[in-house]
């Protein structure tokens, strides 16, 4: 940090913090995992609050500008099938009703299906889904700490917003922050890779002549490689994704890579690095856009319609839960007795200057099961952790972090929290076969037989 600094700390006087609500379940973070967790907890009869620091739900899917659901499908012995169900089906139905969801398309060198969507439709559908079961939402509110009632129990999360600093009491908490904020503050063990996966800043282009552009996504990569070989351009990352949206006037673009001055990945838990990432990302967006506009058929009159509200963070803290999902589990299509859902996405490693994809064998079942133990932190009884900060190694997380498995983890965490409260147990002690029964009766696919 530069600037004038006299003493390294300031003293803040102790103060009493008002409690602004008491709930059975408090979910922090309204991304794919958190929004499903809040839906599940409320539908299982719990008074539920979802705390989200932005003014809309969807997490990286909205504030990060993704516009594609990955990991909703698996290639099962050569056939593409939807492998994530449950409340996710209802979310997709609501998005379809808003005319904001595409049919699945083939992605990653035609090896796996993905689903593109309109970001506004996800915002609206997520609002509807979460509130439909009675969960309340507190937008524009950031969790900044926890108060504990015992070494192994959280009493309240401390939040800050335009209304000031406050506490929200809960009997059970679900950390869907993506960064394991709550778990870390509550003292649950976590790890952080020595070298994180690189973040990106997404953007969308409008005004594309779709007839002329055709399947231009197949040529952008080659054009960029040729320009680099000719020495006219350098790009921060290979394997760009530039694809049309439901209305092909608009194309989404995923081709930036955010780094520090020494080349290391921007860390999403460091505000100085985040700031640098935003500035660098917007510069990269403009450079990439200019290149695409000037070289790609159909893009001559196009313009940037949106740069995502925030840089997209792929990886920060990951908790050390009852079991870590590994890359070997993903590539070997592993089974677990305590399965709560499945994951059919390949390992997608965002390494320096490139993205490396690694798939389960072509003739395999194409998905691994997700064990409940991924969601169960050590040391904190009334907490579950779902989404990209669940218990996975870096290789496992490079696959399991995408939206589909995060939906599955979120639904399982919310359902499990309701069961734990119903039985007066900690998250680690619930009856997992009963959890599996409830998830299946709510439509989830646990991978116990082949999907249809
Ligand atoms: C650039 C990029 C591109 C990607 N592309 C795709 C893609 O095309 N398809 C795909 O499926 N996946 C993609 N991913 C993966 C994506 O991260 C996951 O799909 C998913 O969004 C992770 O879900 P999550 O709920 O765990 O966390 P997040 O989506 O990160 O959501 C966390 C939520 O918690 C909120 N939050 C965080 N901290 C606090 C706090 N202290 N207080 C209150 N609220 C808080 C955040 O605002 C956010 O809404 C991409 C990721 C990135 C970064």
Are the beta carbons of 266 and 273 closer than 8 angstroms? yes
pLDDT digit string (tens) for 191-213?
999 999 999 999 999 999 999 99
What's the pLDDT score for residue 109?
A: 85
Q: What is the pLDDT of residues 315-368, one digit of tens each?
A: 999 999 999 999 999 999 999 999 999 999 999 999 999 999 999 999 999 999
CB 190 within 8 A of CB 315: no
- 431 in any annotated domain: yes
Q: Looking at the structure, do residues 363 and 396 belong to the same domain, yes or no?
A: yes
**Is 243 found in the same domain as 179?**
no
What Å distances lie between residue 131 and 16, 53, 408, CA to CA?
31, 17, 19
| pLDDT 10s digits, 171-191 | 999 999 999 999 999 999 999
User: Is the domain of 224 the same as that of 156?
Assistant: no
For ligand 1, is residue 202 a contact (CB within 6 Å)?
yes
Q: Which of 99-103, 142-146, 238-242 has the lowest mean pLDDT?
A: 238-242
Residues 158 and 290 in one domain: no
Same domain, 75 and 173: yes
pLDDT digits (tens, 9 = 90+) for 80-135: 999 999 999 999 999 999 999 999 999 998 999 999 999 999 999 999 999 999 99
**Whether 184 and 54 share a structural domain:** yes
**Within-domain flag for 449:** no
pLDDT in tens, 6-63: 788 999 999 999 999 999 999 999 999 999 999 999 999 999 999 999 999 999 999 9
Dist. CA 5 → ligand 1 center (Å): 34
Q: Which of 289, 307, 325 is the last residue of a domain?
A: 307
| 4 has pLDDT over 80 | no
Domain boundaries, position 235: 203-307
Residue 12 lies in a domain: no
Which pLDDT score is estimated for 334?
98
Ligand 1 atom 12: the closest Cα is on which residue? Answer: 402
Task: Tell me, yes or no, whether 333 and 272 share the same domain.
Answer: no
216 Cβ contact list (under 8 Å, min separation 6): 242, 296, 297, 298, 299
- Assess whether 272 and 190 both reside in one domain: no
**C-alpha of residue 65 to centroid of ligand 1, in Å:** 10
Note whether residue 322 is domain-resident: yes
Cβ–ligand 1 distance for 281 under 6 Å, the answer: no
Are 324 and 183 members of one domain?
yes
Query: Does residue 73 sit in the same domain as residue 153?
Result: yes
The per-residue pLDDT for 6 is: 78
Asked whether residue 446 is domain-assigned, the answer is: no
Distance from residue 34's CA to the centre of ligand 1 (Å): 10
Residue 1 binned pLDDT confidence (cut-offs 50, 70, 90)? low
Q: Is residue 5 part of a domain?
A: no
End-to-end CA distance of the chain: 55
Question: Residue 167 is inside which H or E element, if any?
Answer: strand 164-175
Domain count, the chain: 2
Q: Do the domain assignments include residue 9?
A: no
Q: How far apart are CA 157 and CA 38, in angstroms?
A: 16
Residue 179 located in a structural domain: yes
Q: Which of 282, 307, 332 is the last residue of a domain?
A: 307
The pLDDT value given to residue 345: 98
Model confidence at 227, in pLDDT bands (50, 70, 90)? very high
């Amino acid at each position: 940090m530069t600037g004038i600094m006299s003493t390294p700390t300031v003293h803040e006087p102790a103060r009493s913090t008002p409690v602004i609500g008491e709930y059975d379940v408090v979910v922090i973070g309204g991304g794919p995992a958190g929004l499903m967790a809040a839906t599940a907890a409320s539908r299982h009869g719990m008074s539920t609050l979802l705390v989200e620091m932005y003014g809309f739900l969807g997490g990286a899917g909205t504030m990060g500008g993704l516009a594609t659901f990955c990991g909703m499908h698996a290639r099962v012995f050569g056939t593409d099938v939807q492998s994530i169900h449950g409340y996710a089906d209802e979310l997709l139905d609501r998005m379809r009703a808003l005319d904001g969801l595409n049919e699945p398309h083939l992605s990653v060198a035609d090896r796996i299906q993905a689903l593109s969507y309109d970001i506004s439709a996800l915002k609206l559908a997520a609002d509807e889904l979460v509130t439909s079961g009675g969960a309340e939402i507190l937008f524009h509110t950031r969790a900044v700490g926890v108060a504990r009632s015992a070494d192994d129990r959280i009493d309240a999360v401390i939040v800050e917003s335009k209304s000031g600093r406050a506490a929200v009491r809960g009997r059970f908490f679900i950390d869907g922050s993506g960064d394991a904020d709550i778990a870390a503050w509550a003292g649950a063990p976590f790890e952080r890779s020595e070298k994180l996966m690189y973040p990106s800043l997404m953007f969308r282009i409008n005004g594309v002549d779709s007839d002329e552009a055709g399947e231009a996504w197949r040529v952008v990569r080659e054009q960029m490689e040729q320009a680099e070989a000719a020495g006219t351009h350098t790009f921060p990352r290979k394997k760009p994704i530039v694809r049309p949206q439901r209305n092909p006037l608009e194309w989404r673009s995923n081709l930036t890579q955010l780094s520090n001055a020494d080349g290391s990945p921007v860390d999403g838990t460091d505000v100085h690095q985040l700031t640098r990432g935003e500035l660098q990302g917007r510069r990269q967006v403009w450079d990439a856009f200019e290149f695409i506009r000037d070289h790609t058929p159909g893009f001559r009159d196009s313009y940037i319609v949106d740069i995502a509200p925030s840089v997209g963070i792929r990886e920060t803290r990951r908790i050390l839960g009852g079991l870590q999902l590994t890359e070997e589990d993903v590539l070997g299509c592993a089974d677990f007795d305590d399965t709560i859902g499945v994951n059919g996405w390949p390992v997608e490693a965002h390494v320096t200057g490139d993205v490396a994809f690694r798939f389960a064998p072509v003739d395999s079942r194409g998905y691994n099961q997700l064990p409940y133990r991924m969601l169960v932190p050590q040391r904190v009884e009334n907490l579950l952790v779902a989404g990209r900060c669940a218990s996975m190694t870096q290789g496992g997380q490079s696959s399991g972090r995408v939206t589909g498995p995060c939906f599955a983890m979120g639904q399982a965490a919310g359902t499990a929290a309701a069961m734990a409260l119903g039985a007066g147990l900690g998250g680690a002690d619930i009856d997992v076969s009963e959890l599996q029964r409830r998830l299946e009766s709510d439509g989830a696919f646990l991978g116990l037989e082949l999907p249809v």
